[in-house]
Amino acid sequence: MDSIVVQGGGPLSGTIPISGAKNTCLKLMCAALLTDEPVTLTNVPRLSDITTLAHLLETLGVEVALLQDGRVMVLSAREITNRKADYDIVRKLRASFNVLGPLLAREHDAVVSLPGGCAIGARKVDLHLKALETLGATVELREGYVHASAPGGLKGAEIDFPFVSVGATENALTAAVLAQGTTVIRNAAQEPDTADLALCLTQMGAKIDGIGTSTLTIEGVDRLHGCTHEVIADRIETGTFMMAPLIAGGEVTLKGARRDLMNRFCETIEAAGAEIDAVDGGLTVRRSNGPLTAVDVRTEPYPGFPTDLQAQLMAAMCTARGTSRLEETIFENRFMHAPELIRMGARIDVHGGTAEVTGVERLRGAPVMATDLRASVSLILAGLAAEGETRVSRVYHLDRGYEQLVRKLEGVGARIERVAEDG
């Protein structure tokens, strides 16, 4: 098992290319099940999660081809040869549960393993199942699997979510595009990932109104066709690398970054002392003179502050002036990086879903352990400005969501390397 070793000190300078959005790409891959024609995705990130889902789709009969060094993926589901998504694969990647909607819509039958919990808390699927039942499916849970069927096909209906769920919105959306009649989804997720999925579906022939809003109206069609679609830039990777020069100093240009995908985050870090400039094909980020200023944050569904950038902001607040208050409202158990930052000298008090971070002058390098994807990168960011060496273990999480993280940070002057653990 590898570790990442970071030597703190020294400002950053240079350009970091932003990869395609992992969460978007995963849902687009699932949507390829809806048609017997090829779906071509460009700007595909090269990540282990992408590989895992590609393997699952192949078990369902999808032919997957990678072109241009893995940046282009062609998915051809000419024939669905298997309607069961096995636990052994689904448990590795929660997003694979989103094959349920497309399988049910096209084949009128699907058996998909429950994904189970994860390190950042239980993430239930009841809203997914209720939405599909509203569309006329019969859903049963047996031995850890969801058995869903709609022998006569799905029927359009009105779906009112009691709270915003990205995954449930996307499963309902991909089911509704082939349903008979009109479907209205209220309190729908507005995430850029969901909007990009909807745009891809319209390229495939779906009829969807309200894209990017909280109300989606879908007119069912008989069939969808193939298309070529570019995966949007990863806003979470963008936000992560934005934090690097704010923590370590210097100036970094993020090639391919888009501010319109993450306005609330940008406004938050600007209040803390970031300077963000739009440049040709990206964004340039630097810190104003002096340390950052503490800011308060409450994670919320899009367009609010994203939960997937909470850990990275906490790392920056560890050396900010004043005390910041970070409230996590999306997932429980998402402050597991706090004890590791405390090992580096941070002053953090966690009370339930709230963490208070009082800035210190400097963090100190220490051996720390990653607990999930975003926690992993927050510790690496903290290590950029810490005194001495920080060794982050259990970094396999990073391979799921950050493409060539070490190389990208090395490219802007960070002293960082990935090393194999003994034994």
pLDDT along the chain (423 residues), means of 10: 91 97 97 98 96 97 96 98 95 92 98 70 78 98 95 97 95 98 98 98 98 98 98 97 97 97 97 97 93 97 95 97 96 85 97 96 95 88 96 89 95 96 60
Q: Is 232 annotated as a binding residue?
A: no
Residue at token pair 């009128």? 108
Q: Is 83 annotated as a binding residue?
A: no
- Nearest Cα residue to 218 out of 170, 146, 165: 170
The residues assigned a catalytic role are 118
Q: Is 408 annotated as a binding residue?
A: no
91: which 2 tokens?
């448990």
With beta carbons less than 8 A apart as the criterion, state whether 150 and 138 touch.
Answer: yes
Residue 396 pLDDT = 86
- Nearest Cα residue to 363 out of 337, 381, 336: 381
d(C-alpha 380, C-alpha 191), whole Å: 27
The Cα-based distances of 209 to 92, 127, 156, 177, 230 in angstroms read 34, 22, 14, 11, 20
Residue 290 pLDDT = 87
d(C-alpha 410, C-alpha 417), whole Å: 8
- Nearest Cα residue to 265 out of 312, 335, 219, 204: 312
Q: Is 342 annotated as a binding residue?
A: no
The structural domains of the chain, ordered by start, are 2-18+233-420 (3.65.10.10), 22-230 (3.65.10.10)
Residue at token pair 């595909």? 44
Q: Is 163 exposed, middle or buried (0-12, 13-18, 19+ CB in 10 A)?
A: exposed
Residue 121 pLDDT = 43
- Nearest Cα residue to 105 out of 173, 205, 28, 184: 173
Half-sphere exposure of 302 (CA within 13 A, CB side): 20
Q: Is 94 annotated as a binding residue?
A: yes
- Nearest Cα residue to 28 out of 231, 214, 226, 236: 231
